[in-house]
Structure 1
């Protein structure tokens, strides 16, 4: 027991007064630790309840005790602090924190989180994994027929890939016709284009056209065509035709049949993906 009286008695001897003061200081030092509450109480007084293993404080009216927290194994656990259950942590609308809902809390964390590099190929418009980005730049279902599909402007520090999903021209190929092919043209400004090059001879075109480090200045930009093996499908190059090396700022894809360039995309989708590289940014 480390509880004691705090009341002075003028009739005590020096030895008795010294013992009383010594007991009072020991009680203060231990926060009146005992299994039973102190006999003498005062507003704001602390009591370490050793039976309940809790730290308590006397209320302002001196009529009861306020439990401040529990004494765990080597830890103090404050009382009155809400804890998120697993269900609440997964609930975007949980109001366990009052006005600060789970949705607001999540937005605040994301706003202050450092931007992380997204590894591997991912949609060009993705900001964070799981944000719903698809990289779609053209779809017949949404935009209808178009003569050209043009990419958004490329960013430094990324290489890009065009993904073709069963795209086709409006012209049917026959034995008497020159094979219809998609053609890629590179641009280094909104007004100047590099010569184009065909990369597949067929009516239906599916595959990935990779553009390794397009923001690195070159005289010739190589494009890698990844698709089911066919003799007509080969890697292509886009020659800048310039006296100095230039970087691609975007590419444009169209259908071409010899000198005829009025074919349009009539089916499918085109998506743009990118992945990080550290040579240009």
Structure 2
């Protein structure tokens, strides 16, 4: 660690000039390290302040020092860097920049990559009953291997269609009725009644070798009646759906998944 003069003296002998050059190069190599500031300064000059264990740079006006960071802890810590909170680090839409600790970084990564035990990332499709990654939730609401024949109806738990979008997966299903349709019905709590929502599968064969897989999406909190261009918001708001299998399903699995919706569906005209 050294400091030296950078001013040339035309009266130097060769030996003196060589010694001056050696001193200047040593000072540059060490970042002008020393407890007092260098006597000769210039804009942009670097100084390793050994008294405060800080890295400093001379300002453009050459009348003061800017602290770039500290190495008092044994590692370099940049000065003036904003420290992000865990919530800021996890916010995918945040435009706040800054440093994070290893602990906060790990929590943020866990939330995005679905590490076991992390809260479910609700912005992506996930089993409707999942709260944390790896908690065993599957979203299955009926499985022939576990439940046997379905009966005519397979009903979902209560939904929040204004808050979430939903998908129903009918996987490898097979009906007991020949040439039948599988339809979806929605429950209108204000009317205490089920109403037809639409056909999921039509004209299904009873052939034992024929099985069907389909994905059906539910994206809004309101049901528009066929033939009408407007929505009666109270009359058509639903909170449950059910599959009407006609007779019953004798094979397959039905799974319900959801994801958070950020579109203000309640503001629909």
Q: TM-score, normalised by structure 1?
A: 0.44
Whose Rg is larger? 1
Structure 2 length normalisation: TM-score? 0.46
